[in-house]
Amino acid sequence: MSALVHIGYHKTASTWLQVHLFKHPDVGLRSIGKSAIDVRARELVSTRALEFDAQAVRERFAPALDEVRERGLLPVVSNERLSGHPVSGGFDSKEIADRLAEVFPGAKVLMVIREQRSMIRSVYKQYVLAGGPCTFPKFVDGPEDPNARVPQFDLGFYQYDRLLRHYRSRFGDGNVLALPYEQFVRDPPGFVEAIGAFAGRPIAPEVAGSMKFREVRHRTPPAVMIGLTRWGNRLARRSQYHPAPVVDSPRLFAGVQRVARSETVRGLVPRRLLESRDRALEAMIEAAVGDRYVESNRRTAELTGLDLGGYGWAV
């Protein structure tokens, strides 16, 4: 089944790719539509293992894929959840990979990876903005449960070589491409040209150079505002991350979110406090990560031929 399957990871410009590359009129790739993918992706992700029917899911994808192919384009299935979810430690990432191999035999797979410290910082902030109440240390080091009843964040999720090897074993070495998010930041035209070449739909340099790359960079709140949001979550936001707040008030939570993202409010916070809280978060990330990923990064570099050290990764 000829298709490009983009699995994420989260926080690696997935939304930009879905909006600006996979729908670009001058590129030979075409997403079947994020809303349509979301519906079908729930089957790929959420169906219980003993109930999953690959043939039935393949048949439900087929009309949308065929419609794109009839226009002479390569269909793209893009959803960052397909790489697993960071808050649950990617516990189902292998299961999803196996399902994708059954549903899309012969597809090409794109994954975008990111230096782990930067990734974990971004993921933690997103967790809080989505309703999470935990401090950073408690987020990365949850309570131990010998029965492993509930999946939780796992630093091992970002040992990229493991999932990369598994995808290669299922789809073939030449059918899996891993690109670093840092290449997108430094050389966005080269990044999208690499995707086009891999997919067999070359992208002209003038087309790549004309894309709206600036629209990817969303400014996330500084650590001090994340801390404020976290306390608001404990009080007012019921979510999967925090099912029992003191008061379940979506309106109050929305107000806290507006404060956390407000440039005006941010401007009222003393610069010294902003900087000190940012440094404190960076120190906590460094303490959690250390040299944990060095060997994995070396293996990833060997598998991909990427100069990860040149992109600031620990190798």
Tens digit of each residue's pLDDT (9 = 90 or more) over 208-261: 999 988 765 566 789 998 998 888 888 877 788 888 888 877 777 777 777 777
Rounded mean pLDDT, 182-188: 96
Q: What is the pTM of this model?
A: 0.93
Domains of the chain, residue spans: 4-115+157-217+293-300
Strand ranges inside 51-171, DSSP E: 74-78, 108-113
Average pLDDT, the chain: 91
Contacts of 276 (CB under 8 A, 6+ apart): none
Q: What is the reported pLDDT for 150?
A: 87
Instruction: Give the Cα separation of 72 and 81 in Å (integer).
Output: 28
Nearest to 83 by CA among 139, 44, 31, 39: 44
Strand ranges inside the chain, DSSP E: 4-6, 29-31, 74-78, 108-113, 176-180
More confident residue, 181 or 142: 181
Instruction: Give the Cα separation of 22 and 6 in Å (integer).
Output: 10
**Is the pLDDT reported for residue 36 higher than 70?**
no
Q: State CA 283 to chain mean position distance.
A: 23
Contacts of 204 (CB under 8 A, 6+ apart): 26
Residues β-bridged to residue 306:
none
4-115+157-217+293-300: which CATH topology?
Rossmann fold (3.40.50)
